[in-house]
């Protein structure tokens, strides 16, 4: 995780520079902290979010409603769709690793070719087919990250993505990192 300039308290995950999630977010299920009551080991709040209590109608209206209601915490690349699901960090990290150059190239192309904010930000095709500056957008890269970190888990589904702690690291990068960098270029 990186920190924005000294004036900013936000932490972010710079997936364009280093696609792999930090270990504390991707694989470390517990963390040890020094507290006023002494050293304690607790569930890692960056690894997953535990629902307390689970909302009974969590997946209402979705075709796989039972899956969302069975899961008592957030999962990335879940191993099953029942209550015994676990996050598959190895599969997630493999997908991120396999796409790290694509993420870097796509971000570079976006920052160097999109000359208007509309072209930079929107997930729609707005320009002529022969003009490559219209082929990329921050929204499309953003969506790719959601899919690669969530797969069929919480980050991969709009209705549930914000429950996953990695959502916030990702969105800090989108909002504070990429947009600020882009605004500095133009």
In a domain, 3, yes or no: no
The per-residue pLDDT for range 141-156, each reduced to its tens digit, is: 999 999 999 999 999 9
pLDDT for 9? 53
CATH number at residue 55: 1.10.1280.10
User: For residue 169, is it within any domain?
Assistant: yes
Residue 6 lies in a domain: no
Nearest to 90 by CA among 108, 102, 78, 107: 78
C-alpha distances (whole Å) from 20 to each of 66, 74, 90, 92, 130 are: 31, 19, 11, 9, 33
Share of the chain above pLDDT 70, in %: 80
When divided into structural domains, the chain yields a total of 1
Evaluate whether residue 165 is within a structural domain. Answer: yes
- pLDDT on residue 18: 85
Asked if residue 103 belongs to a domain, the reply is: yes
Could you tell me if residue 5 is inside a domain?
no
The per-residue pLDDT for range 49-81, each reduced to its tens digit, is 998 866 666 667 777 778 888 888 999 999 999
Evaluate whether residue 63 is within a structural domain: yes
Show the domain range for 19.
Answer: 12-185
> pTM here?
0.82
Answer whether residue 94 is part of any domain.
yes
pLDDT given for residue 136 in this prediction: 79
Q: What is the dihedral sign for C-alpha 151, 156, 160, 165?
A: positive
């Amino acid at each position: 995780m990186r920190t924005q300039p000294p004036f900013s308290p936000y932490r972010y995950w710079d997936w364009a520079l280093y696609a792999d999630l930090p270990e504390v977010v991707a694989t470390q299920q517990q963390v040890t902290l020094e507290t006023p009551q002494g050293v304690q080991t607790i569930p890692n709040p960056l690894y997953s979010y535990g629902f307390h209590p689970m909302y009974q109608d969590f997946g209402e209206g979705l075709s796989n409603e039972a899956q969302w209601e069975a899961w008592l915490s957030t999962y990335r690349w879940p191993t099953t769709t029942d209550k015994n699901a676990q996050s598959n960090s190895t599969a997630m990290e493999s997908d991120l690793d396999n796409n790290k150059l694509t993420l870097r190239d796509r971000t570079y192309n976006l920052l160097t070719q999109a000359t208007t904010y509309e072209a930079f930000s929107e997930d729609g095709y707005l320009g002529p087919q022969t003009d490559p500056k219209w082929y990329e957008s921050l929204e499309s890269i953003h969506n790719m990250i959601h899919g690669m970190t969530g797969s069929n888990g919480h980050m991969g589904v709009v209705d549930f993505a914000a429950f996953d702690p990695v959502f916030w690291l990702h969105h800090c990068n989108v909002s504070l990192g990429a947009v600020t960098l882009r605004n500095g270029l133009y």
